[in-house]
Structure 1
Amino acid sequence: MAGIKFEIIEHVAVLSESSSGWKKEVNLISWNEREPKYDIRDWSPDHEKMGKGVTLTTEEWQQLKQYITA
């Protein structure tokens, strides 16, 4: 994506993989050199292309984990 800089700080999990090789991943990502956030989205095999996703602060991520394990 032009104009958007990102760095994957930590690969957390692969949730699924399509027949085309795209993977739905959970990663800790720094977008445009900002504080890293947890991110859930589809990625191409080379991580050059991405689908729409959702980002969560560390607090939101912790809250989501509590709901999932409850």
Structure 2
Amino acid sequence: MNNKSFKLIKHLGMLSAPGGDAVKTVSIVQWGELEPSLDIRKWENNEPKKGISLRGDEIRLLCKLLKEEYPEFF
């Protein structure tokens, strides 16, 4: 990953157990000067690895799609 600056706004939780090389987390992160976004990403030694960032409409659409596919979880 490039050396783009980021600010961890809020850690929401882990999607994988700690102890491995990388931990998959869900957080609110501000990348550079962009608006904070929902971030699902692997972190290794406090360094961001591959992941995705979602903003407002994308979060709503993801929730809608998940609710349609997995109603038992909502």
TM-score, shorter chain, exceeding 0.5: yes
Q: Distance in 1 between matches of 2:3 and 2:43?
A: 17
Under a length normalisation based on structure 2, what TM-score does the superposition of the two structures give? Answer: 0.73
Displacement, 1:2? 6.0
CA distance in 1, matches of 2:10, 2:62: 18
Which structure's residues are more often helix, by fraction? Answer: 2
Count of aligned residue pairs for this structure pair: 68
Residue segments in structure 2 that go unaligned for 5+ positions in a row = 69-74
Q: Does 1:13 align with 2:13?
A: yes
The answer to which structure has the higher strand fraction is 1
Gaps of 5+ in 1: none
**Which runs of at least 4 in structure 1 moved beyond 6 Å after TM superposition?**
none
Partner of 1:63: 61
| Structure exhibiting the larger radius of gyration computed from Cα positions | 2
What is the root-mean-square deviation of aligned Cα atoms in Å? Answer: 2.0
What is the distance in 2 between the residues matched to 1:30 and 1:54?
13
Distance 1:18 1:10, change over 3 A: closer
The Cα shift of 1:42 comes to: 0.3
